Amino acid sequence: MCGIVGYQGREGARDILIEALRRLEYRGYDSAGIAIWNNGTVRLARRQGKVSDLAEAIGDDGFNGSMGLAHTRWATHGVPSERNAHPHKAADITVVHNGIIENYLELKETLKEEGHTFTSDTDTEVIPHLIASLLSKAGSFEGAVRAALRMLKGSYAVGVIREGEDILIAAKKESPLLVGIGDKEFIIASDAPAIINRTNRFIFLEDDDIAVIQKGTLRITNLDGDEVERETRSVQWSGAMAEKGGYRHFMLKEIFEQPRAISDTLIGRIQQEEGEILFEELDLPDITKVRKIWMVACGTSYHACLIGKHIFEANLRIPVETDIASEFRYRDPILGKDDLVILVSQSGETADTIAAMKEAKKRRLHTLAICNVLGSTLSRECHSVIYTHAGPEIGVASTKAFTTQVCVFFMLMLYLGKRLGALDNDDVRRLIGELRKVPHKIQTILDASSSIEDNARENMHYRHFLYLGRGINFPTVLEGALKLKEISYIHAEAYAAGEMKHGPIALIDENMPIVFVSPRDQTYKKTCSNMEEVLARKGKVLLFTDDTRHDMAGRVDALFVVPESIYELQPILSIVPLQLMAYYMANLLGTDVDQPRNLAKSVTVE
């Protein structure tokens, strides 16, 4: 997830752009860059590291002008480095980009044949080359940008300038972009917080919009060149709220970002028509020889592994062993010579997970990381890596990292299933179809978040909660209970529902709410029986299900219905109301939600 910003106006662009980059840094930063247009020429500066490094590098020596573009990068294609940093320039065209161009390899090949030379590993660099190559045929800068955008597959928010033309063009598809309207100036940005210090009037561009800013005027057209009307909106946010995109906490923002985070994780990897999953970055040994797969991680990432095990075993029929990284590293696990070890980590810096990876490597096993931070230790040191494209996760409690990790496990299962002959093209097509519906389904849960907040208000005074689920939703309740305890400090314990009778049932009375996750899957009837047992002991049942006609509806204390999905994907939906419930309880109790006591975002020590 990168941040982009562009300026055209009467004042010097440099300070405005640098200040906006500083405000965008929370979106992720491994490098930053700026391009300034001054009397028809464009100067570029890029640096690996923080925005402050870039600001220092450009100094004061006349690096200024009336128009410019800037970018803060969170790498997805190509390691963090100066040459991969944006803006990217080809001939007289300069571009900043946020998003992922799915067909960049194809475009790059064609452009190379035309004689274009590439200097970075990014998908973005094809955009300025493409625009430059289309200029003479299109007849105008704007025409060339429009023609290029029509050829791009994937997602983009772009800002484009050209030497010699006092025009700033901005366009978007599936990545956010807005135009801020200031006093005789226009500023484009990935989000409002970046520029809230200069204006609170915004036009939120829609997919396929192209905004052309020229000599103090703004014109918005669609990809066919027809003008479109967009409403100007005013937002009233405090500075702190603006950084969090108007949300009270990063955690809430990140919960609400899940539809986008999942879409970004799927982009460029699913080919539904072909029934194929593309993992360009993956370089696995002969998978038919693998006798056992290990999934190893800590905390929330470990819960994603527990779900991964269900997804893999149900479809691939390969034994999967899950392990907590701090156990794996010391217990001398019995590893077969062809076993595959998958290590999962949002940060890629968790000490125990890194130690587990080293242990597996010492035993000469292939290690595969599922990781959210490009260039992190785990992603660098494993043999292969698949990135979740969740964007930076700032709230200490992990939310969007978890759901994107489960999506990666699902895609990896499809990928391996094809190679092992366990799934055919039709199976993969159908399952991709289900996966693609997930972001929209999550959105419908988020749209109903106020009912979860009401429920949280009613129940926040309880000091102990029990979470119960079965099958693939046992890990879901483990994760739900972890969310509640870590941010609200309410004691929450999770069990496989079948285990209730073997001990925890002794705790149940009218002061113990029990959270059940009970979709209509193969475990449904059994979980209903567990609910009966709880109700018989005057326990309070909060039920999360995908079944509007659940057998227990009307008898439980609260019922929340999530959309239906297939067994393997149901946890991604069921966890969202549990994340929200934990968040709302903590917020109502007034805890420090984003930085709960005693916890750190990245546990780099043992």
531 binds ligand F6R (CB under 6 A): no
Which among 37, 2, 1, 4 has a CA at the least distance from the CA of 188? 4
587 scored as a contact of ligand F6R (CB under 6 A): no
The radius of gyration computed from the CA coordinates of the chain, to the nearest angstrom, equals 25
Q: How far is the CB of 372 from ligand F6R (least distance, A)?
A: 8
CB 501 within 8 A of CB 533: yes
CA 524 from chain centre, in angstroms, equals 31
User: What does the DSSP 8-state code read for residue 163?
Assistant: T
Least Å distance between CB 380 and ligand F6R?
15
Give residues 348-367 in contact with ligand F6R (rule: CB under 6 A): 350, 353
Span of 13-21, 97-105, 347-355, 457-465 interacting with ligand F6R by CB under 6 A: 347-355
Judge whether 601 counts as a catalytic residue. Answer: yes
Residue nearest ligand F6R by beta-carbon distance = 299
Among 265, 346, 379, 518, which residue interacts with ligand F6R (rule: CB under 6 A)? 346
Contact with ligand F6R (CB under 6 A): which of 8, 133, 300, 518? Answer: 300
Please, are residues 74 and 391 in contact by the beta-carbon 8 Å criterion? yes
Q: How far apart are CA 494 and CA 478, in angstroms?
A: 5
Among 153, 418, 485, 601, which one carries the catalytic annotation? 601
- For residue 564, give the DSSP letter: P
Residue closer to ligand F6R, measured from CB, 300 or 570: 300
Instruction: Decide if residue 476 touches ligand F6R (CB under 6 A).
Output: no
The answer to whether residue 199 forms part of the interface with ligand F6R (CB under 6 A) is no
Q: Which stretch binds ligand F6R (CB under 6 A): 124-132, 345-353, 496-504, 517-525?
A: 345-353
Q: DSSP secondary-structure letter at 606?
A: -
How many residues are present in the chain?
A: 606
CA atoms of 423 and 18, how far apart (whole Å): 50
The neighbouring-strand residues paired with 465 are 492
Which of these ranges, 295-303, 334-342, 503-511, 512-520, lies near ligand F6R under the rule CB under 6 A?
295-303
Among 84, 98, 322, 345, binds ligand F6R (CB under 6 A): 345
Q: How far is the CB of 276 from ligand F6R (least distance, A)?
A: 29
- Rounded Cα distance, 205 and 171, in Å: 8
- Select the residue interacting with ligand F6R from 8, 76, 367, 398 (CB under 6 A): 398
- Are 376 and 401 spatial neighbours (Cβ–Cβ below 8 Å)? no
Instruction: Let me know: does 371 contact 348? Beta carbons within 8 Å.
Output: yes
- The one segment of 2-10, 148-156, 339-347, 448-456 that binds ligand F6R by CB under 6 A: 339-347
Q: Quick one: which of 261, 295, 298, 561 contacts ligand F6R (CB under 6 A)?
A: 298
In angstroms, the first-to-last Cα distance of the chain is: 29
The one among 180, 299, 480, 596 contacting ligand F6R by CB under 6 A: 299
Minimum distance between the CB of residue 575 and ligand F6R, rounded to whole angstroms? 11
Q: Tell me how many residues contact ligand F6R (CB under 6 A).
A: 15
Q: How far, in Å, CA of 247 to CA of 268, rounded?
A: 29
Among 17, 267, 397, 497, binds ligand F6R (CB under 6 A): 397
Options 2, 305, 382, 407, the catalytic residue: 2
- C-beta separation of 398 from 299 below 8 A: yes
Least Cβ distance, residue 600 to ligand F6R (angstroms): 8
Examine residue 76 and tell whether it contacts ligand F6R (CB under 6 A).
Answer: no
| 406 near ligand F6R (CB under 6 A) | no
Strand-strand pairing, 366-371 and 384-387? parallel
* Shortest CB 375 distance to ligand F6R, Å: 14
- Is 347 a binding residue for ligand F6R by CB under 6 A? The answer is yes
Measured from the CB atom, is 58 or 408 closer to ligand F6R? 408
Cβ proximity to ligand F6R: between 241 and 355 the closer is 355
CA angle 527, 530, 534 (to 5 degrees): 140
Task: Pick the stretch among 6-14, 63-71, 344-352, 499-507 that binds ligand F6R (CB under 6 A).
Answer: 344-352
Does the bond joining 87 to the residue before it have cis omega, within 30 degrees of 0? yes
From the number of C-beta atoms within 10 Å of its C-beta (0-12, 13-18, 19+), residue 501 rates as exposed
The least distance separating ligand F6R from the CB of residue 244, rounded to whole angstroms, comes to 18
Tokens representing 55 are 């600001």
| Residue 31 and residue 206 in contact, taking contact as beta carbons nearer than 8 Å | no
Stretch that binds ligand F6R, among 82-90, 207-215, 343-351, 504-512 (CB under 6 A): 343-351
**Would you count residue 545 as binding ligand F6R (CB under 6 A)?**
no
State the helix-helix crossing angle for 126-138 and 141-151, rounded to 10 degrees: 130
Nearest CA-CA partner of 580 in 554, 546, 544, 555: 544
341 touches ligand F6R (CB under 6 A): no
Of 196 and 370, the one with the shorter C-beta distance to ligand F6R is: 370
Closer CB to ligand F6R, residue 55 or residue 406? 406
Q: What angle do CA 227, 228, 233 make, to 5 degrees?
A: 140
Burial of 81 (0-12, 13-18, 19+ CB in 10 A): middle
- For residue 265, state whether it binds ligand F6R (rule: CB under 6 A): no
Distance of closest approach, residue 570 Cβ to ligand F6R, in angstroms: 20
- CA–CA separation, 35 and 11 (whole Å): 15
Q: Which stretch binds ligand F6R (CB under 6 A): 79-87, 227-235, 282-290, 294-302?
A: 294-302
Q: How far apart are CA 420 and CA 313, in angstroms?
A: 13
Question: Which residue, 346 or 488, is less far from ligand F6R as judged by CB?
Answer: 346
Burial of 367 (0-12, 13-18, 19+ CB in 10 A): buried
Angstrom distance (rounded) from CA 366 to CA 83: 30
Q: How far is the CB of 405 from ligand F6R (least distance, A)?
A: 8
- Active site residue ranges: 2, 601
Q: Residues interacting with ligand F6R, by CB under 6 A?
A: 298-301, 345-347, 350, 353, 397-398, 482, 486, 602-603
